[in-house]
Structure formats: C-alpha cells, structure tokens
Amino acid sequence: MVMRKWFLLPARAVMAALFVAPMAIVAAYSLLTRGAYGGQGAPWTLENYARLLDPLYAGIAVKSFWIAGVSTAVCLAMGFPLALFIARARSRKALWLGLVTLPFWTSFLVRTYAWMFLLRDTGLVNTLLLGLGVIREPLPLLYNDSAVVLGLVYGYLPFMVLPVYAVLEKMDGALLEAAGDLGARPWEVVWRVVLPLAKPGLAAGGVLVFIPCLGAYLTPDLMGGGKSILIGNVIQNQFTTARDWPFGAALSVVLMAMVMALAWVARRRGGEGGLP
Amino acid sequence: MRRGLAVYAALAYLFLHAPLLILAAFSFNTSKYTVWEGASLVWYRALWEDGRLLEAAWNSVLIGCAATVLATAMGTLAAYAMWKRGARWLEGAFFLSLVTPEVVMGVALLAFYQWVFHFLDVRLGMHTVIAAHVMFSLAYVVVVVMARLRTMDRSLEEAALDLGATEAETFWRVTLPRMAPAIGTAALLVFAISFDDYVITSLVAGVDSETLPMLIYTMARRGVSPAVNAISTIITVAVGVMILMAERWRRA
Amino acid sequence: MAAVLEVEGAVKGFPGHRAVDGVTFSVEPGQLFALVGPSGCGKTTTLRMIAGFETPDEGEIRLRGEPITRLPPYARRVNTVFQNYALFPHLTVRGNVEFGLRRERRRSGAALDMRARVDAVLNMVRMAEKADRRPEQLSGGEKQRVALARSLVLEPDVLLLDEPLSALDPNLRKQVRGELKALQRRTGVAFLMVTHDQEEALSMADRVAVMNAGRLEQTGSPRELYERPRTRFVAGFLGPVNWVDGVGVRPEAVRLAGEGDGREGLVRSAAYLGNRVMVEVELNGGERVVSEVRAGDCMCAAGDRVRVSWRAADEIRPES
C-alpha cells in the first residue's frame, strides 16, 4: 500500500523531532558540565550521576518511591471495592462507571485546587471545625506528605478502577455462587475467589497509578507546598531556578529509566487489562 | 455484603465529587473568605473584567483547538497505517511518550527548543506550546482510534476494493466513516488534555503565551480567591457539557 | 423413611411473572430425583431456592426436617453442580476440590485429613492423575467430574445438579448418564437433578417430577408418569401421544392390520427409521394417528387402507 508511508509521515516527523530528539538531548546534557552562568558544555563527565548518591538526593528518590507506593496501595484498597460494586451492580453500570471517569475529564489542576480550598489553614474544613469549637488552632492539613498522597489518590483513582472493573466485569457470576455453595462466607468469596481473579486488573491498575505518581510534579508542588519534595520537583527546579541543567538531565534520565523498567515489566507480564 | 459495598461506594463517590461541588458552591459566595455570606455572581463579574484572565483563556482555547486539529488528524492517519501493518519504532515511541513523566517531557522539550534556537531566530511562544501539545496528545489519539479499528472487520475494505473503489476512496468512504466516533472521542480527549496541561506548558511557554492553567496555578499559589473557584467552575461545567454533547452525538 | 429434602408450597416471583407458583415435593435419602420441564418452567429457580441463591416469597424448605428457607448458601449442607460447572480458573483440580474443605478443617481442628479425603474423591471420579491441572486444560467430561468431586467431598445431604449433561458433547451424554447414576448409587447421596430432557429424566431418575409454568404437574416413578400421566401436558412432554376422542395412546401402542377389528384409515405417510417405521394414518373421521411399528411388522405404504387398534390397557386417560 502506497498511502501507508504518507499516512505515517507526519506522526513520525513529530515523534522524531519532539520526543526522540529532546530525550536524546537530555541524555547528552546529563553527561556535560554546568557552565558558570548556567548552560552546559565540555568536559564530558559522570559527575552529575555521582551527585545522585548524595544523601539529600538519594533520600528524595527513596521518598518518591515511598509516596508513589503508598498512593498506589491506597488506590488499590479504595479502587478494588469500588470496581467490585460497579461490576456487581444490577443496573446503571454505565452511570456508575461514568461517575468514576468524570473527574478524570475535568482539569487536574482544578481538582488539586479543590482540595487546597478544603484543606488549607483558612479552608473549609478548618473554618468549620473552628466555627464548631472542635479545635482552637487550624489543623495543618495541607502542605505535608499525607496531603500529597491524598492528592495523588484523588487524581489517579480512576486509573485503578477501570482495569479492575474490566476484569471483574468478565468474571462468571456462577463462580461466586459456587464459592458460597461450597461454604465460603461473603468476605471469603471476595478473598479466595474475586481477588485472585482480579489480579491482572490490579497489577495493570497498580502500574498505571504508580508510574505517574513516581514522576508527579504538580501535586507535591501545590499540596506539599515545598515541604514534600519529590524527584519531579527537583528536576523542574534544576531546569528553572537552580539552572543546573546537566544535573536535572541526569535526574531525568534516572527517573525515565525507572519508569521504563516498570512499564517494560508490566508490558511483558501484560495479558488481560495490561497497558496498551 | 452487597449493602456494605453500596455504602462504601456512596462514600467513594462522595470523595470523588464532593470537593468539586463544594468548590463550585463557594464560587457563588459573596464573601472573599470561606464563610457563607449569601449568593451572588460578584466573582464571575470580576472574571469578566480581568483582562489578563481573558487573554489566558483565549490562549488556552487557541492552543487547544490547534492541537486538537493537528494531533487528531496526524494520529488518525498514523493509527490507520499502523492497523494495516505495524510500525515498530513509532509504536515504541508512542508507548514511551505515554509513560514519560510530564516534568521530564517538559524539561526535554525546553532543552530541545533552546538548542534549536541556537540555529534559528525563534523564541518560546504559542507555537512551541502547540507543538508540544500535538506531540504528547498523538499517542492518546492513536490508542483511542486503534481500539476502534481493532473491532473492525478487515473484509469491509476488501469488499470495497472488490467493488472497484480505489484505495483512497475505500479509506474515505468506508473506513473513515466507521472510525468517526473514535475520532470524535480522540479529539475531545486531546482538547481536554491540552486545555488542562500545566506542567509541560509552563516550561515551554513564552512571555506572550500564558495559558489558563498557568494563571490558575499562579493564583492558587498566591492564596485563596473565590475568583479561582469561579474559573474552576466554568471550566468544569464547560468540559462536562462538552462530554455530554459528545456522548449524545455518538449515540445518535 | 423420612425425607431428606422437603419443599413445601414454594413461591417465587420476579418482576413481571411468577417463576415458581406453589411447588411441593420431597426427596428420599439415596434417591435420584429429577425435576423436568420445558425451559422457563421454574425448575432452575426451584433448584436455586434449595441451594440458597434465591429466597422464596412463600413456602418452606426443610433439610433433614430442619427449615433452611432463609439460610445463606454457605450455611446449607446442600451443594450444587453448576450447569457450566463454575470451576475456579485460578485453582488446580485439587485446589478446587479442597475449596470447601478448608473451612471444615478450620472448624473441626487438625483432625481431618484433608489430603486423604481429596485423594479418595478424586480417585472415585477418575481424576487423580490430573489433580494438578488447571480447569482450562480439562475436557468437558473431566470438568464435570471435578465439579462433582468438589461437591461430593463435602458429603452434602443433597447434591443439586443443574442440567448436568447440557454442557457436554451430545455423543458423550448417553455414556455419562450411566456414570452419573453409578456414582450416585456408590455414594448413596441423594441427587436432585434439573433437566429439560425427558429421556434423561426417565432413564436416570428413581423419581421424576414434571413441572410446567411454575407448578408441579405430577410426581412419580418414570414408569408411572409415562404410562399413567395425569395431565395432557405430562403425557405430551414425556413422549409423543395420539389424542383420539379425548383418549391418548402412544405411537408404539397403536397396532396396524390389513383387516379385522379397529377403525379404518388411510396411510398418509410411512417414514422408515431403520429398526422401526413411523406410519401416519388418517382415520375415517379425519383424525390423524401415528403408529410406531417394528420394521418387519408392517409393509404399508402411503395410500394403503389399514385397520387401526390398541389395547384398552394402553389408553391414557388424563384427569385434565
């Protein structure tokens, strides 16, 4: 087919120029030295990678993993029963599913701001509690790690619910009846039959949530308020305020490598409900 | 068990939707503070008189439309070609672009643009933002359109060719109409993503290309203002209406 | 002998219709009881009420004299073999059979030798060699045997079987009928089987109940039902019947002769089926009668004049 080559051309050009080339430049910059006024140049060096071992940055890397892990775990715990509810609903499944995906269509920034509005010192929760006399001082609800986890869970919960739902939806209802028939209590049915069968969906959802959480920038920036810094924030900072592009590039390469490794594993195990 | 799940689901839906509903409710508050002092549209009026905000909104719409048209067209063509026969490195690039953290994509584009500017007399501006948006939305278009193509019967095209249609006619008269709903969904998705993006946009935008998310971000950092609630409400409602209309159109 | 399972006046309605409308019957220990009827007659709903998946609107279900009407499925000593077997795809054959035993072991302490029990039941259904296979690696017949083992290992008071043969290859069905019956005899467990296939019910069951439109039409031994059906529906459902002047007669009881006693008729068609011939005769009154005769006994062809007769003892006289 002659047309095919022409059809691919624009996409190929865009991806080569604006994705592959920029990534290559970042990889190259990560091996250069920072210039006196920002910028970068010779000599070639591995110095930027060595700096990652600095306890400050190693600590941030560990913390990023920790926050992403906790957020994923919370999404698993919250998403599984919700997906189960939708899959087992007797009617209006489309509506219930739509209500999960609806926030996904609305602005991430707006959703983050909504929580800031609720949680800040002068926010609704504190105003209410102060007004009711439950507390005398506003509670420090915003600008800490828990707030970041909350923001990430809120942002990425749909990514967990959808693949889990897709697996549960296909599950044969007779299996649940059979488990009950063989003496399993309802919670045992969930634990011994539903959960094992939902594993592919849970794995896919876990990856879909963990990856964006690991590289998150906006949520820790706004809800962590500079007190909860993750890799994403350090990278952004190196390219803007700190103007140390080579170091920022090295951090980007490492983050990218971790994400790719995860995505690769997920794709290989792939199968049902896997990544596209 | 079923009742327990239903109670849990009610709480989960509350968690998902209450923050936005509360946010919207307070956009109608007369007071600047989070104390209800009566309903009014003062903050909406304030938005209307804010020149910077109107410009940012206009920029966002412009960028969104341009990115939607370009990315949807390119992505659709690419998906169709890839459905015919795989294109390995392109598939790999799309997959990677989907998992790349936004901030990494943003700094990479920034570094790339600065490098290109050594050779060309260009500055950061609307065009750099649009180019970035087209790039990161392409993969979404391909995924959505490809999902639809996978459900399509290849023999339809063969039948058209058999009946004497040329390749181009077959694409135009047989395949494209069947892809239409998916293309519509993809376009909507691109617009929503483009309209919403802050992280990448803020890194590659020039002085004259402030977008709505960038402005909201600045306002949100500065402190609470019901004006932000009002913009947020408008955006949410607009997107909601857009989705409902698209859903209607798709079912019709 | 006290019945092991009693269903009394069970009623179950769904929005728009009454699936089960006052059904009463009982199953004796060690009996193979078949509930038979056309699809949609309420037999599966009845089974599901006994298993505990549906709660009756009215009526009572008793197991060994104890009411279980409102107990959840897991609290009933009744187990089900599902129509598509519902084997857990994430567990091996052994894992499936152990599934229900896990709880029992916890309840009764370590005394129970789970492994031995599982081995014994797997041997009984000839699945010991495939104990480590996954359900997707099994044939239809093997799946059925695992489903049986999984339920029988729990030693239920009654084993419920929902269309146990319908998921099998037609060629396999007749063979499995015998195996299933033999298994039932060997274990001595009462089986309650639901089927839409009257031949299956007649050939396997000790006792058959015919259901129609949510009600039980008649209960009895296969022979009773076939030979002395109380209603036209039962007569017709269990086999073909000719209705002449309000009296039924089965094709195999209709005798044809060239001359002699009986009513006169004209042969309309004769279909040769190998060992027998189906002859359709139009009587002088215009009624049509089908006769099934051994191939050697009749040399009639379409257009022949014949005499049609039957013994009074073979007549079916339904009450309704």
Q: Tokens 């909406």 correspond to what residue?
A: B44
C-alpha–C-alpha distance, residues C63 and C27, integer Å: 10
Which residues of A are less than 8 Å from C89 in CB distance?
175, 197
- Of B39-48, B211-220, C98-107, C122-131, where does mean pLDDT reach its minimum? C98-107
- Of A33-42, A149-158, A160-169, C47-56, where does mean pLDDT reach its minimum? A33-42
Which residues of C are less than 8 Å from A192 in CB distance?
99
Domain CATH for C199: 3.40.50.300
| Selected residues 241-260 of chain A with any CB under 8 Å from a CB in chain B | 245, 248-249, 252, 255-256, 259-260
Contacts 24+ apart (CB under 8 A), B115-124: B115/A25, B123/B206, B124/B204, B124/B205, B124/B206, B124/B209
C-alpha–C-alpha distance, residues B74 and A8, integer Å: 8
Nearest to A178 among C52, C86, C104 (CB): C86
Which residues of A are less than 8 Å from B15 in CB distance?
78, 154
From the candidate CATH numbers 1.10.645.10, 1.10.3720.10, 3.40.1190.10, 1.20.58.340, the one assigned to the domain spanning A56-172+198-269: 1.10.3720.10
The Cα angle at residue A152 between residues A148 and A158, in degrees rounded to 5: 160
Q: Is A185–C90 a contact, with Cβ atoms under 8 angstroms apart?
A: no
Residue of chain A minimizing CA distance to C105: A183
| Selected residues 81-100 of chain A with any CB under 8 Å from a CB in chain B | 81-82, 84-86, 88, 96, 99-100
Q: Which domain holds residue C88?
A: 5-232
Higher-pLDDT residue of C202, B244: C202
Asked whether residue A275 carries a pLDDT value surpassing 80, the answer given is no
Reported confidence tier of residue A272, pLDDT bands at 50, 70, 90: very low
Mean pLDDT of C290-302: 81
Percent over 90 (pLDDT), chain B: 41
**Residue B11 forms part of a structural domain:** no
| Selected residues 20-39 of chain A with any CB under 8 Å from a CB in chain B | 20-23, 25-26, 29
What is the DSSP secondary-structure string of C234-280? HHHHHS--EEETTEEE-GGG-EEESSSSSEEEEEEEEEE-SSEEEEE
Q: Of C200, C232, C264, which residue is a domain's last? A: C232
Reported confidence tier of residue B224, pLDDT bands at 50, 70, 90: low
Asked whether residue C199 carries a pLDDT value surpassing 80, the answer given is yes
Does residue C263 share a domain with residue C207?
A: no
The whole-number pLDDT of residue C106 equals 59
The whole-number pLDDT of residue B85 equals 83
Domain borders along chain A are 56-172+198-269
Does residue C223 share a domain with residue C130?
A: yes
Residue of chain B minimizing CA distance to A214: B101
Reported confidence tier of residue B119, pLDDT bands at 50, 70, 90: confident
Mean pLDDT of A180-206: 92
Higher-pLDDT residue of A143, C221: C221
**Residue C167 forms part of a structural domain:** yes
Does residue C270 share a domain with residue C197?
A: no
Mean pLDDT for all residues in chain B: 88
**Residue C227 forms part of a structural domain:** yes
Which residues of B are less than 8 Å from A111 in CB distance?
19-20
Contacts of C156 (CB under 8 A, 6+ apart): C77, C78, C79, C189
| Distance in Å, alpha carbon of A217 to nearest chain B alpha carbon | 7
The whole-number pLDDT of residue A37 equals 67
Mean pLDDT of B188-196: 91
Residue of A177, A182, A191 best to disrupt the C interface, most CBs of C under 10 A: A182
The whole-number pLDDT of residue A273 equals 38
A192 lies within 8 A of chain C by CB: yes
Asked whether residue C245 carries a pLDDT value surpassing 90, the answer given is no
The whole-number pLDDT of residue C109 equals 55
C-alpha–C-alpha distance, residues A38 and B111, integer Å: 12
Asked whether residue B206 carries a pLDDT value surpassing 90, the answer given is no
Does residue C157 share a domain with residue C13?
A: yes
Q: Which domain holds residue B162?
A: 51-224+240-251
C-alpha–C-alpha distance, residues A7 and A21, integer Å: 21
Does residue C310 share a domain with residue C245?
A: yes
Mean pLDDT of A90-115: 86
Q: Of C184, C207, C232, which residue is a domain's last? A: C232
Cα-atom radius of gyration of chain A, to the nearest Å? 23
B121-145: pLDDT as tens digits: 888 889 999 999 999 999 999 999 9
Which residues of B are less than 8 Å from A217 in CB distance?
101-103, 199
C-alpha–C-alpha distance, residues C62 and C44, integer Å: 18
The whole-number pLDDT of residue A271 equals 47
A204 lies within 8 A of chain B by CB: no
Does residue C304 share a domain with residue C174?
A: no
In this complex, the chains that touch B, judged by 3 or more CB pairs closer than 8 A, are: A
Q: Tokens 């049986």 correspond to what residue?
A: C148
Q: Is B101–A7 a contact, with Cβ atoms under 8 angstroms apart?
A: no
Asked whether residue C217 carries a pLDDT value surpassing 80, the answer given is yes
**Residue B148 forms part of a structural domain:** yes
| Distance in Å, alpha carbon of A180 to nearest chain C alpha carbon | 5
Mean pLDDT for all residues in chain C: 90
| Selected residues 42-61 of chain A with any CB under 8 Å from a CB in chain C | none
Reported confidence tier of residue A276, pLDDT bands at 50, 70, 90: very low
Asked whether residue B207 carries a pLDDT value surpassing 90, the answer given is no
Chain C residues whose C-beta is within 8 A of a chain A C-beta are 51-53, 72-74, 78-80, 82-84, 86-90, 99-100, 103-104, 150-151, 154
Mean pLDDT of C309-313: 89
How many structural domains comprise chain B?
1
**Residue C320 forms part of a structural domain:** no
**Residue C180 forms part of a structural domain:** yes
Mean pLDDT of C20-30: 94
The whole-number pLDDT of residue C104 equals 65
B98-117: pLDDT as tens digits: 999 999 999 999 999 999 98
Q: Is C89–A197 a contact, with Cβ atoms under 8 angstroms apart?
A: yes
Q: Are A124 and A103 in contact (CB under 8 A)?
A: no
Q: Is B22–A108 a contact, with Cβ atoms under 8 angstroms apart?
A: no
Burial class (CB in 10 A: 0-12, 13-18, 19+), A44: exposed
Does residue C173 share a domain with residue C273?
A: no
**Residue C249 forms part of a structural domain:** yes
Prediction ipTM score: 0.88
Which residues of C are less than 8 Å from A198 in CB distance?
none
Domain CATH for C270: 2.40.50.140
Asked whether residue B154 carries a pLDDT value surpassing 50, the answer given is yes
Angle between helical axes of A3-15 and B88-99 (0-180°, round to 10): 30
Which residues of C are less than 8 Å from A179 in CB distance?
88, 99
How many structural domains comprise chain C?
2
Whole-prediction pTM value? 0.84
| Distance in Å, alpha carbon of A98 to nearest chain C alpha carbon | 27
Nearest to A175 among C78, C83, C86 (CB): C86
Choose among C304, A266, A3, C127: nearest CA to B167: A3
Mean pLDDT of C267-276: 87
Q: Are B110 and B179 in contact (CB under 8 A)?
A: no
Does residue C257 share a domain with residue C224?
A: no
Reported confidence tier of residue C110, pLDDT bands at 50, 70, 90: low
Nearest to B199 among A8, A22, A217 (CB): A217
Domain CATH for B183: 1.10.3720.10
